[in-house]
Structure 1
Amino acid sequence: MATEGNVMLADGRRMTYAEFGMPDGHPVFYFHGTPSSRLEPLLIGEATFTRLGLRIIAPDRPGIGRSSFQPQRRFADWPADLLALADALQLDTFSLLGHSAGGVYAAACAACIPERVQRAVIVSGLWYMDQPQLLAQLHFLNRLGWLLARHAPGLLRLLLHRTAVSIGKDLSQMKHILPPADYDAFEYPGRYEAFGYVFREALRQGTRGTAWDMRLYMHPLGIRLEDIQIPLQVFHGGKDANMPIELVRATLASIPTATLTVYPYEAHLSTLCNRFDDIARALLEPRTRD
């Protein structure tokens, strides 16, 4: 079971986080996807983190789960919140793991606070989503969510609320939406049910925080990817239907320190679940300081 805690930030907001794995293991800040929450590491499992010697610390982003909403927040605001959490936990250095929509948050920290980061890893990362060539490749429901985030956030909030009612209950309804590798990953006992729990926890305070989180990806990211000077390891599935691999390659071309590992037959979630031993090795690799 996860343990949980709260940190009060300088502006009076509360940040809630969950911890998994070994309390004295290698510290890794885990940045969840969207719609998702601090409980997303449940999809991998406590036993895996413990076996690999990891201490996973997963914060809710503002307005999501139990963390306070932050008006007008940007990706560039996240490193300051992360530093406040790291200082509260007395962690001088740590690794970063951004999954899916958490990838840009990991990139922001790698660019802005490199002196505190041992290793930065992005798995199945999403980047700037308001690209016609990208949206045209997405499943209709996925594309609808992003378009509503850009043009009709009120309708997006309604869609999120309605989705929360059914998600995690009947996996068969997802068969026409998910790539086979992701569907197979969800068939692991208890994982799809946990996904529903994680999704609903994201909306604990309502839909405002998650809708704002999604909206950020439909505007310029506001961080300079070329400012990332520390090693950035990226893992991505060749069958990822949320962010096609060719667009990942195009984005990473602006990050001189990025290394891409592609699993040709994995998809969005399956890369995280099936390749976590590889991901852990990257997180644990010592960083050579300049």
Structure 2
Amino acid sequence: MAKKFVNLQNGDRLAYQVYGGGKHTLVLFHGQLVSSWLEGSWRRAIDEADVRCIVFERPGYGDSSVMNITRVGDWIPLFQEAVRQLELHSFDVVGISAGGPYAYATAVGFPELVGRVWLLGGVPAVFRKEIFSLYPPKFQKGYLRLEDQPLSETQEYFENKLAEMKKGLRGEPGGYYENSLNDVSANRCIGPAREGRLHAIPWGFDPFSITQPVTLYYAKGDAMVPYEAAAQMARMLPNAKLITFVESQFRPGVNIHFSSINKGFFSLLKEYPKKPE
């Protein structure tokens, strides 16, 4: 795979990768500690479906410029140029974990283009007290700390975290895991470092004004996105369906957050026709 770029008028750029060549376009927003690289089983599933999947690297990740992002809604004018250059006329969006808010932003910003919205363990609107109050106290303290903590300190935290993850890296050199971690580490980890604070402050648009159908996949027992908060998000959206996974559906000892994302992705692909022979 080779990355491609949307070149912005001010000299910045957005990196992205395209998987599959099907009729139905998906724009996918990655999680906090990954980037535009997709794991092999996901690539194979996309190839079997009649789908073209475009994965953008958000500002600060990988080969995308850092840019001055102060709220999630700043993504909307950036994506306008991507729509023009990639000639996107009709597509669905997928928000994974920390990429969830950007899926909402794209749906709200481009209602005439986005058909369906899929959330896979996506971060809900934690800036709303009805949702934030359903997070455990330690999560609440973490979000509040991010709002005041110097960004450089958060970057240092992620740099140390990524260094430890790279020590335990298994898999082929230059493969999905190594490429992803290198992209997350880019620009002194500014991409993941500022995501938490962007989630916790008002997003700069109203996610509850969304008109498209939204399908949310979440798991009970998820240690990263509390199910109760996700369920409240679903109740507050005007046209939402919540699909719930329970702990008995997963192997003992697995990370429920990531396992439910996998299960949700393969499930949503079944909503699209198979690629013609």
TM (norm. structure 2) is 0.83
Equivalent residue, structure 1, for 2:109: 112
Does the CA contact (< 8 Å) of 2:30 and 2:55 recur in 1? yes
What is the deviation of 1:47? 1.1
Equivalent residue, structure 2, for 1:18: 17
Return the alpha-carbon distance in structure 2 between the equivalents of residues 238 and 117 of structure 1: 29
Equivalent residue, structure 1, for 2:6: 7
* 1:1-290 superposed matches below 5 A: 2-20=1-19, 22-39=20-37, 41-42=38-39, 44-129=41-126, 131=132, 133-136=134-137, 146=143, 148-152=145-149, 153-167=151-165, 169-170=167-168, 194-195=176-177, 197-265=179-247, 267-282=256-271, 284=272
Does the CA contact (< 8 Å) of 1:129 and 1:146 recur in 2? no
Identity of aligned residues (%): 23
Return the alpha-carbon distance in structure 2 between the equivalents of residues 222 and 44 of structure 1: 35
Does the CA contact (< 8 Å) of 2:62 and 2:186 recur in 1? yes
Please, which runs of 5 or more residues in structure 1 have no aligned partner? 172-186, 286-290
What is the deviation of 1:32? 0.8
Return the alpha-carbon distance in structure 1 between the equivalents of residues 193 and 181 of structure 2: 13
SS at match of 1:63: coil
Return the alpha-carbon distance in structure 1 between the equivalents of residues 60 and 45 of structure 2: 29
Distance 1:113 1:5, change over 3 A: same
Look up the equivalent residue of 1:65 and give its one-letter code. Answer: G
| Structure 1 vs Structure 2 CA RMSD | 2.6
Distance 1:5 1:197, change over 3 A: closer
What is the deviation of 1:92? 0.8
What is the deviation of 1:233? 1.0
CA offsets, 1:137-196, max 9 Å, x none?
65xxxx88645532323221111111111215438xxxxxxxxxxxxxxx9x87xx8445
Return the alpha-carbon distance in structure 1 between the equivalents of residues 145 and 27 of structure 2: 30
Does the CA contact (< 8 Å) of 1:129 and 1:135 recur in 2? no
